[in-house]
Structure 1
Amino acid sequence: MSSTPAWLTVTLREVETKIRDRAFIISTLITVLLIVGAIVLTSFLANRTSNYSVAAADQLSQQVLQQAQQRQGEDVELSIAQPNASDAQSQLAEGELDAILSSDGADGFIVQGREEIPSALSSLLSSSAQEVMTAQLLQSSGLDPALLPDADLLRVELLEGDAERNSMIQAMAFIFSFLFYMAALLFGMPIANSVIEEKQNRVVEILASAIKLRELLAGKILGNIILAVGQLLIFLGVGLAAAWLSPVEIPFLGVVSQVATWFVVFFLAGFLVLAGFWAALGALAARTEDLQQSSGPVVTLLVGILFVGLYAKGTVLVIASYIPIVSSVAMPIRLLTGNVPWWEPALSLLVVVAFSWAVLIFAEKIYRRAVMHTGGALTLRKALKLED
């Protein structure tokens, strides 16, 4: 007889069956490619500079273009072309010029383009023209334009963090929430389906004669946990590696990497709770159709967690970070702010681990009593009245 524990045999069977599934492999690879592609595309767009070649039709327009060159940012680069009037029109028609700027003789300007004028170029020329005309008006009145207030008078200060960090938190909140939601469905639902399939085919009766039902359930849960956490680590690892290797510097990447570790730990604790729920639902059901009806509360809970991760702020987020399962998303999001003392995630993790232990004990009790019942779907109350 094999010396391998029965629960480990079941665990290895669950993992081996899944990793041999072509659909699972393809979906994982596609997701990895999408993650890498999204980061590469973001880096490319962030590092991309739009180059515009503009000609001036008169001296005043030339001053505006020179002012625009001084105001151009990292995303816009302006070059001033020097063709004569006839050549400028032909170059514009052939696409060698992006625009021609000319004064309309009434304190205004006209920008000619071939098919369209990019908004970034139009905005730059408009603000530059306003500055040039304002300076001329002041000079004609005997005032020094240098005495004008600086254009950037408004400075933004936030009580909690800064705009850049808040943007990072919003992006990571979406990623954490979505990963938890998808993993809970993709790896939680198969636990219930597997239980129902073995129950319908009476395979569980054969297995029960060889191993304990407790070990069978443990193997199913552990197998899917390994798969879920393994896939999560792949996604996070690939995403972080691509971000570190990106030519564009991504702010707060070190903070994200640290919090990602916490997220994996909280994900594991939260998934244990959901795995217990799915196993109990599978044991109570007699057919797949029964599961579709009884799984509503769990799916609603997952949607609620998703919305908490996306929209919860302030006190609501603090409270949510101590509620089991919800804390799997809420606490990592709070940790991104960098203002959470170490004991808070430790306490939150202790709460969700204790809760998951209680749920698994209860789910195992329901599983043992209901999985051998073949007379139709059971309610929770009826299952508790059954004998082991």
Structure 2
Amino acid sequence: MSTPTAPWLIVALREVETKVKDKAFVISTVVTLLLIVGAVAFTGFMGNKTSTFSVVATDSLSYQVLAEAQNQRPDNVSLTISQETADQAGDRLSSQEVDATLVSSANQRELTLTGYDEVDPELRQLISTSMTTVLTRNVLSAHGVDPAALPSETDLKTAQLQGDAEKTSMVQAMALIFSFLFYMAALIFGMPIANSVIEEKQNRVVEILASTVRLRQLLAGKIIGNVILAMAQLLLFLGVGLLAAYLAPGQIPFLGVVSTVAGWFIVFFLGGFLLLAGIWAALGALATRTEDLQQSSGPIIGALVAVMFIGIYAKGSLLVIASYIPIVSSVAMPIRMLSGDVPLWEALLSLTVLLVVCWAVLLFSERIYRRAVMHTGGALTLRKAIKLEV
């Protein structure tokens, strides 16, 4: 004799099956995965790309400029220089043996950089900077001034009391990713909970279901089903993104830190999404039409936008405070942890606060749902729903 399946599990599986069979959902998921892989691959490729240029000078001044460019070039630029006659340089450029030629004017004040069909912007910028350095040095020397004695832009050094610039860039990039993933999941999987509740109220299907399934289990099934979908998609996105980063050409810095914090983000995401799922279910129960939901969901959508912007732009004390505020902490605390200077007890305290508030909201939302889901006489306010009999 087989054991009967729990009603909440049946509802949850129905929610998952319905979403998985939705072509729009499948296509959007696949497209997002391709974008993630493409973005990671492009970042790795561009970070390790080396630009190679070959330039011929036709006189001593232009060769000085090329020699200066050789000294000033960044590590990801390879520059081959030589000096030949104007005719030889022109022939080599015409046959595309070199990328450009550099010729100075008769008054030694201007130079012309000539390419075959175009001049690469990166090469132009390098030569322009070097030309300014060489011509300035020559003018100063002609007036008896030692160029080495003058201050230059390289005399300004930058430093940070904590961390480093490369890590700061990583934190900013991951803050955008974490915030955007949470915002999209809250809308893609949260709002359908409310819409499903409204649809069942309008079609009076909930009355039939209530005769065989407890309303508490019906609500639990809806929430759990969408939590499974949201977590599965999040794990898929993060997993594919991290795998692509590991396999990408070159080494992406701080990948180990990102992988560790991604695990914490998943845990905080679960607590924050459960809290929002309870709110969405309550909003659906209070409404009787989709139009009612559009009006009542404004504050929660506004809150989600605020969470996203706080996650992306908040710093210092504001970010610390946000990391202890439920829902916002789902993004803020993982972002703080990327810096590596957050004690474990702070992360656990933030998570505890989030889960406690989540549990309280779910209990309250379940109470509202049981009282309001059978009501079909128009939209309810929260106060009226609390006064209704179960």
TM range (shorter): over 0.9
SS of 1:113's equivalent? Answer: strand
Quick one: distance in 2 between partners of 1:245 and 1:292? 44
**Residue in structure 1 matched with residue 43 of structure 2 by the alignment:** 42
Quick one: distance in 1 between partners of 2:291 and 2:3? 38
Quick one: distance in 1 between partners of 2:78 and 2:316? 41
**Residue in structure 2 matched with residue 207 of structure 1 by the alignment:** 209
Quick one: distance in 2 between partners of 1:73 and 1:202? 69
Check whether the contact 1:51–1:76 (CA below 8 A) recurs between aligned residues.
Answer: yes
Check whether the contact 1:170–1:310 (CA below 8 A) recurs between aligned residues.
Answer: yes
Amino acid at match of 2:388: L
**Residue in structure 1 matched with residue 226 of structure 2 by the alignment:** 224
**Residue in structure 2 matched with residue 187 of structure 1 by the alignment:** 189
Amino acid at match of 1:6: P
Task: Map 1:12-51 onto structure 2 (within 5 A).
Answer: 12-51=13-52
Task: Map 1:43-192 onto structure 2 (within 5 A).
Answer: 43-81=44-82, 84-92=85-93, 95-114=96-115, 116-132=118-134, 152-192=154-194
Quick one: distance in 2 between partners of 1:189 and 1:337? 33
Check whether the contact 1:285–1:378 (CA below 8 A) recurs between aligned residues.
Answer: yes
Quick one: distance in 2 between partners of 1:147 and 1:154? 15
Quick one: distance in 2 between partners of 1:358 and 1:37? 41
Task: Map 1:239-388 onto structure 2 (within 5 A).
Answer: 239-388=241-390
Quick one: distance in 2 between partners of 1:299 and 1:149? 54
Q: Deviations over 1:218-251 (max 9, x none)?
A: 0000000010011000000111111111122111
Q: Deviations over 1:145-183 (max 9, x none)?
A: 888889743321112321111111111110000000000
Check whether the contact 1:76–1:120 (CA below 8 A) recurs between aligned residues.
Answer: no
Quick one: distance in 1 between partners of 2:384 and 2:360? 20
- Where does structure 2 lack aligned partners over 5 or more consecutive residues? none
Displacement of 1:85 in angstroms is 1.6
Amino acid at match of 2:272: G
Identity score, percent: 62
Quick one: distance in 2 between partners of 1:253 and 1:107? 51
Q: Cα RMSD between the aligned structures?
A: 2.3
Q: Deviations over 1:81-104 (max 9, x none)?
A: 555323433554565543321222
User: Which deviates the most, 32-41 or 122-131?
Assistant: 122-131
- Where does structure 1 lack aligned partners over 5 or more consecutive residues? none
User: TM-score, with normalisation over the residues of structure 2?
Assistant: 0.92
User: TM-score, with normalisation over the residues of structure 1?
Assistant: 0.93
Amino acid at match of 1:237: G
Quick one: distance in 1 between partners of 2:348 and 2:268? 10
SS of 2:56's equivalent? Answer: strand
Displacement of 1:73 in angstroms is 2.2
Displacement of 1:203 in angstroms is 0.7
Amino acid at match of 2:280: W
Check whether the contact 1:99–1:111 (CA below 8 A) recurs between aligned residues.
Answer: no
Quick one: distance in 1 between partners of 2:192 and 2:205? 16
SS of 1:51's equivalent? Answer: strand
SS of 2:54's equivalent? Answer: strand
Displacement of 1:47 in angstroms is 1.9
Residues 293 and 274 of structure 1: CA distance in aligned 2, closer, same or farther (over 3 Å): same
Q: Deviations over 1:265-308 (max 9, x none)?
A: 00100011100110000001111111111110110110110111
SS of 2:155's equivalent? Answer: coil
Check whether the contact 1:53–1:79 (CA below 8 A) recurs between aligned residues.
Answer: yes
Q: Deviations over 1:295-340 (max 9, x none)?
A: 1011011011011111111111111100011100110111011111
SS of 2:65's equivalent? Answer: helix
Quick one: distance in 2 between partners of 1:293 and 1:136? 71
User: Which deviates the most, 106-115 or 307-316?
Assistant: 106-115
Quick one: distance in 2 between partners of 1:3 and 1:344? 43
User: Which deviates the most, 225-234 or 124-133?
Assistant: 124-133
User: Which deviates the most, 47-56 or 331-340?
Assistant: 47-56
Displacement of 1:16 in angstroms is 1.5
Quick one: distance in 1 between partners of 2:290 and 2:8? 25
User: Which deviates the most, 68-77 or 14-23?
Assistant: 68-77
